[in-house]
Amino acid sequence: MRLGHVVNKALQGSADFRSKLRTAQNEFENEPYILGKLQMSIFWSILRIVNIIFLEEVMAILTLKGSQEAKQFVTDKKALKAINPINLVAKTDAIKNKPADTYSNIRGNGIKDED
């Protein structure tokens, strides 16, 4: 009985050893895959952080530039009105509503007098 028990124990131990060896081999074979996944995970995390920082800076610049452009547009409009507000309104109205009583219509022939 004692010999059978020792043989069983040795076989069981060898099965455990084989199982552990197989697990270690699988882990070793999968190591490049796991390292690759880890590297890609780190890469994407860093890229995400860089994108967030970059976008925040770009948005701040665009917001600042947009507000400056809006302010410049308002200033330009005010300057135009200050220069000649009546002429500006008259030109706009003339473009929209072309008057029927032009010189050529009054003459009746559509030809200007070149005197």
pLDDT tens-place string over residues 21-33: 677 777 777 777 7
* Amino acid at the residue 96: K
Q: Residue 43: what are its φ and ψ, rounded to 5°? A: -60, -50
| Residues 35-93 pLDDT 10s | 888 888 899 888 888 888 877 777 777 777 777 776 776 666 666 665 555 555 555 55
C-alpha distances in Å from residue 29, one per residue of 20, 33, 34, 42:
14, 8, 10, 21
Please give the DSSP secondary-structure letter assigned to residue 98.
-
Tokens of 71: 């302010």
**pTM for the predicted model, two decimal places:** 0.34
Q: Cα torsion at 83, 84, 89, 90 (round to 10°)?
A: -150
Give residue 80's Cα distance to chain centre: 37
CA distance 48 to 112: 71
